[in-house]
Amino acid sequence: MVNNALEARTWEILNKIPDPEIPVISLVDLGIIRHVRATAGTVEIGVSPTYSGCPATEVIRKDIQAAVTGAGIDGLKIVDVLSPPWSSDWISERGAQALRRYGIAPPMSLQAAKNAAHPVACPRCGSTLTERISEFGSTPCKALLRCTACLEPFEQFKCI
């Protein structure tokens, strides 16, 4: 919820900052921006890492700092929000669509992940005839799969 014009402006800035590992999705659409609170002289931004030890966390903090202060907003305070921990369910629908267009299968919901029979759809052709090649892709938060219909490899953002 936006309480004032400064918070709204800050949200607009944050919505333009790409995730450093998956640049087609913004930090807002990734769901890691937990809050923006503007008070007299301070803008506090709450950020949750996607998982403990994520190597992009410091880059994200620096990107936020550069974008917000570069837009002329002073008194920035970035705080870590660890509870509740980030969930892949927090990725917006717009973010999921961006991942799919980029060739990464978005994570399924936590509920769907519990159903082992729920197949992962290929982001290229849409087929659910897919197989997991490796538990880890180019980053620890992605797995490597292959579509047996179009034979293309692709990554899936893991359900966390």
Range of the domain at 153: 92-157
Q: Write down the mean pLDDT value for the chain.
A: 91
Question: Do residue 12 and residue 81 come from a single domain?
Answer: yes
In tens, the pLDDT along 72-99 reads: 998 999 999 999 999 999 999 999 999 9
Tell me: do 14 and 54 sit in the same domain: yes
102 lies in the same domain as 76: no
Q: Are residues 80 and 98 in the same domain?
A: no
Q: Interhelix angle for 5-14 vs 57-70, to 10°?
A: 130
Q: What does the pLDDT read at residue 117?
A: 64
| pLDDT tens digits along 129-138 | 999 999 988 8
Show which of 86, 108, 140 is a domain's final residue.
86
Q: Tokens 């620890």 map to which residue? A: 140
Q: Does one domain contain both 76 and 130?
A: no
Burial 87-122 (b: 16+ CB within 10 A, else e): ebebbeeebbebbbeeebbbbbeeeeeeeeeeebbb
Q: Model confidence over 8-22: pLDDT tens digits?
A: 999 999 999 999 999
CA dist 134 and 137 (Å) reads 7
Which of 32, 38, 49 minimizes the C-alpha distance to 5?
38
Is pLDDT of 1 > 60?
Answer: no
Q: Global pTM?
A: 0.86
